[in-house]
């Protein structure tokens, strides 16, 4: 098992920045890298605000927050942080060509022992592993939104992933206070998104059939089943674009029409109503 002290996160969007923050709070020396300087600044501002909030809420002492702040750096630079990384977690855009280029570059810039993981929920790591010379050290390490809060992390092996790599990322996930969920092989949607999709597809069908309002379907999920959020609220949180693209990717992999995005989801996607991030999804956000 590789001992991890330095973590590099690629991408400072909603997932990347929170994965980086969780790693820094857990004691890892962390760098969050993005190609876009504005995204880097936004992520850093978000982190300072979040750390201050943790102290105000009594979740961290001022000293713990200051230490976490010291341990994390947001940057556009790649070479230096890559050279110091024992583990890279790629949370860049869900495009295969972009990810393959990133993995090839990481393979060149990181030390040979480093594990290269992807946070992708739609692309199994086998699609990027062969862009590197170390496919045994490549796997999925899939966090959930919001990554600072959600405890589960899916670890998905590709056919080359070594036991040592699984042990390394399992240890890191535990050190971050997460619950590892190990998948023995790649399947579209992994485990949690498949469970979520089952509920979402049923909810969309009930709503499309005029059985109940989407607000009432959400109330049933919350107050009859104890889910923290209803399926429509959850789509707004995750992003209707993300939900749509996950479904589209599942269809492209399986070719099975039952995996196609629901027409109501497609309509929201085409209207650009992506949920919280655009101010409108199923619900409105001022």
- Residue 98: exposure state from Cβ atoms within 10 A (0-12, 13-18, ≥19): middle
Kindly name the residue from 193, 233, 243, 262 that is annotated as catalytic: 193
68 near ligand CAA (CB under 6 A): no
Does residue 195 touch ligand CAA according to CB under 6 A? Answer: no
Whether residue 121 lies in the annotated active site: yes
Closer CB to ligand CAA, 145 or 162, in the complex: 145
- Does residue 154 carry a catalytic annotation? yes
Distance CA(176)–CA(13), nearest Å, equals 19
**Closer of 103 and 144 to ligand CAA (Cβ):** 144
* Helix and strand counts by DSSP (H, E) for the chain: 12, 8
| Contact call for residue 12 and ligand CAA (CB under 6 A) | no
- Residue 127, CB half-sphere, CA atoms under 13 Å: how many? 19
CA torsion sign for 209, 238, 259, 153 is negative
Contact flag: residue 193 with ligand CAA (CB under 6 A)? yes
Near ligand CAA by CB under 6 A: residue from 92, 242, 249, 265: 242
Does residue 144 touch ligand CAA according to CB under 6 A?
yes
Q: What angle do CA 41, 42, 44 make, to 5 degrees?
A: 65
CB 192 to ligand CAA: min, Å = 6
59 binds ligand CAA (CB under 6 A): yes
Is there a catalytic annotation at residue 145?
no
Q: Catalytic: 105?
A: no
CB of 274 to ligand CAA, least distance (A): 13
User: If binding is defined by CB under 6 A, does position 229 make contact with ligand CAA?
Assistant: yes
CB of 285 to ligand CAA, least distance (A): 13
Q: What does the DSSP assignment read for 133-202?
A: S-GGGEEEEE--SSTTT--EEEEE--TT--HHHHHHHHHHHHHTT-EEEEESS--TTTTHHHHHHHHHHH
What is the C-alpha to C-alpha distance for residues 87 and 91, in angstroms, rounded to an integer? Answer: 13
Instruction: Give residues in contact with ligand CAA (CB under 6 A).
Output: 57, 59, 121, 144-146, 148-150, 193, 196, 228-229, 234, 237-238, 242
Q: Catalytic residues, which ones?
A: 121, 142, 154, 193
């Amino acid at each position: 098992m590789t001992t991890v002290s330095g973590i590099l996160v690629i991408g400072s969007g909603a997932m990347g920045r929170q994965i980086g923050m969780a790693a820094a709070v857990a004691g890892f020396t962390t760098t969050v890298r993005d190609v876009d300087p504005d995204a880097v600044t936004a992520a850093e501002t978000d982190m300072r605000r979040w750390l201050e909030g943790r102290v105000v809420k009594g979740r961290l002492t001022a000293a713990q927050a200051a230490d976490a702040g010291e341990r994390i750096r947001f940057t556009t630079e790649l070479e230096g942080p890559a050279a110091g990384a024992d583990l890279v977690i790629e949370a860049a855009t869900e495009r295969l060509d972009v990810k393959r280029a990133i993995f090839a570059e990481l393979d060149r810039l990181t030390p040979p022992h480093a594990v290269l993981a992807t946070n992708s929920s739609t692309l199994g790591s086998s699609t990027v592993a062969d862009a590197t010379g170390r496919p045994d050290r490549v796997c999925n390490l899939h966090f959930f939104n919001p990554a600072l809060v959600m405890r589960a992390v899916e670890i998905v092996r590709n056919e080359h992933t070594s036991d040592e790599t699984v042990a390394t990322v399992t240890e890191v996930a535990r050190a971050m206070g997460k619950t590892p969920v190990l998948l023995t092989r790649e399947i579209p949607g992994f485990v949690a998104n498949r469970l979520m999709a089952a509920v979402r597809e049923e909810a969309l069908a009930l709503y499309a059939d005029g059985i109940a309002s989407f607000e009432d379907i959400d109330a049933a999920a919350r107050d009859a089943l104890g889910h923290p959020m209803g399926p429509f609220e959850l789509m707004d949180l995750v992003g209707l674009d993300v939900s749509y693209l996950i479904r589209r990717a599942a269809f492209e992999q399986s070719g099975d029409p039952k995996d196609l995005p629901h027409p109501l989801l497609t309509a929201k996607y085409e209207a650009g109503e992506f949920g919280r991030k655009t101010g409108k999804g199923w619900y409105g956000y001022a």
